[in-house]
Amino acid sequence: MLDSVMAKWAAFDPLIGVGIFVAYMLIDALYARWTFEITRLDEYRAATTGAIMHILLAFGVLNYTGNYLYVVPLVLGSAIGTFFYVRAERLRVAKISLKTVSPMSPPHAPKDALRSLLGFER
């Protein structure tokens, strides 16, 4: 068992690991975007995003089936990709809400929008 793990580490290529990390970071960002495009009912963007996502998925699967240790950069890239895409969308929406505050809005509205932008809840 230990010999098997040591053999996997000896065969582990850090460059492939970085490639898998980046690919899965992009895949999860694309998956979040794909879901967003579907909810917007934009069939062209959803189809294009899905196709790109599956091309990248093939790269990761082909690599980690040969060495299970490649699952580590896959999982880390996946989590980071989703995190940053959702964060960017939240910040984009918060910026839009800051720009659309009308002069008739209650005086606390800009402060609430800023709190939302920074990630604080009421």
Q: Is the pTM above the cut of 0.75? A: no
End-to-end CA distance of the chain: 52
Domain-located, residue 58: yes
73 is a domain residue: yes
Domain with 33, as residue range(s), is: 13-118
Q: Is residue 7 part of a domain?
A: no
Instruction: Say if 8 falls within a structural domain.
Output: no
Which tokens belong to 28? 């999860």
Q: Is residue 1 part of a domain?
A: no
Q: What is the pLDDT of residues 8-29, one digit of tens each?
A: 788 888 888 888 888 888 888 8
Residue 4 domain flag: no
Count helices and strands (H / E) in the chain: 5, 0
| Structure confidence by residue, pLDDT tens digits, 41-88 | 888 888 888 888 877 787 667 766 677 777 777 777 777 877 888 788
Residue 79 covered by a domain: yes
